[in-house]
Amino acid sequence: MVGSMSAVPVQPAAAPTELCPVAFQDFHSPEPFPLELGGVLPELTLRYETYGTLLPDKSNAILVPHALSGDHHVAGRYRPDDVKPGWWDVFVGPGKAIDTDRFFVIGVNCIGGCKGSTGPLSIDPRTGRRFGGYFPEITLGDIVRAQRMVVRHLGIAKLHAVVGGSMGGMQALLWCADYPREVGRIAVLAAGLSQSPMAIALNAVSRACVEKDPYFRGGHYEPGAGPDTGLAVGRMLAHISYLSSAAFDQKFGRAKVPGAQPGDPVHWQVESYLDHQGEAFVKRFDANSWLRITRAVDRFDMTARAAAGTLFRGDGPDVLAVGFSSDWLYPTSELRMLLAAATAVGVNAAYHEVITDAGHDGFLLPDTGLSVRLHAFLG
């Protein structure tokens, strides 16, 4: 089934209200957590948030894995005066596409991250010092296996759905492949069956920016004294790939910074915007986490399993693939390939294309028609 949606505002049936206050929780396992590439974490902490009420039969749970630089804070505000709500608040909450009046929504900060789950900034109990550059390499499979521990901790045997965009969509595919009887449906937004060579190349240059910063020190730096310049420049590069050419034209054109003179270091508004994105990212993210997670994304490759007919199964989860017309990081052709692999083995699958100039970041933005499609798919 193929359809298209134009970028028009969606009017909900009833005015949604905002989740506030929300709070995070920590799941802790004292047991060693073996990793797919041979490393091991001596213990594991996973920070997560939940929204809505879990039904007595626990049949209404939806997991929302985050994208590369996201975290467990999917929706709502911790305090009414918080400047920003959670990263997918436009779609998650009372009366929204993922309706917390009906569903119990779970967000988990991935391992290797820097927002409360075990990662490079965590203390290694074996040494009493931060892991830092000694934090082992991880895969998206490790991240999903850790998420599953939280789901089991909550007493949920089968998720109603896993819904994710970008890296979150890759995790949804892994849930479908590795735990097909534990999820009813998956929605994959702005992601493909593998990381493309171009996307790997962009990540490689972004990582090089960090690793060549003299303050990186092989990953052994103290918080606040790390490779801030390298991380900022790496994020600036990555951010270019999140927008389309049309989005840059519409947002900035050739506008100059007010008062800028021809010889000023920052002359164009697009330069100022990217500088701001880099500086803001350094304040909320860790360089070692950036390296580990981008490499985990680059390793993601489900093409062989799709070709062998083992990625999807006829009695497995329903599939919704959503592509964004101007996304050049994960083109719509990759979502169509995903659909073809699913339908080839008899999966109840659909593809919808959102017509937008927003680029890859389209899955994060409101007014794309995505709310209607997600609401219908979730039932």
- Residue tagged active-site, from 327, 352, 357, 375: 327
- Residue tagged active-site, from 69, 122, 166, 244: 166
166 is catalytic: yes
Kindly report whether the peptide bond that precedes residue 21 is cis, defined as omega within 30 degrees of 0: yes
> How far apart are the C-alpha atoms of 150 and 162, rounded to whole Å?
14
> How far apart are the C-alpha atoms of 122 and 132, rounded to whole Å?
8
Q: Contact, 296 vs 138, CB < 8 A?
A: yes
Q: Contact, 109 vs 48, CB < 8 A?
A: yes
327 is catalytic: yes
> How far apart are the C-alpha atoms of 44 and 41, rounded to whole Å?
7
- Residue tagged active-site, from 360, 361, 371, 375: 360
Q: What SS3 class is residue 155?
A: coil
Q: Contact, 184 vs 154, CB < 8 A?
A: no
Which one-letter amino acid corresponds to residue 29? S
b/e map 69-91, b = 16+ CB within 10 Å: bbbbbbbbbeeeeeeebbbbbbb
Q: Contact, 3 vs 350, CB < 8 A?
A: yes
What phi-psi label fits residue 52: left (phi over 0), alpha (psi between -120 and 50 degrees) or beta?
left
Assigned token pair, 134: 């000694």
Assigned token pair, 120: 């490079």
Interacting residues of 69 by C-beta distance below 8 A, sequence separation 6+: 281, 285, 290
Assigned token pair, 75: 């929706």
Residues marked active site are found at: 166, 327, 360
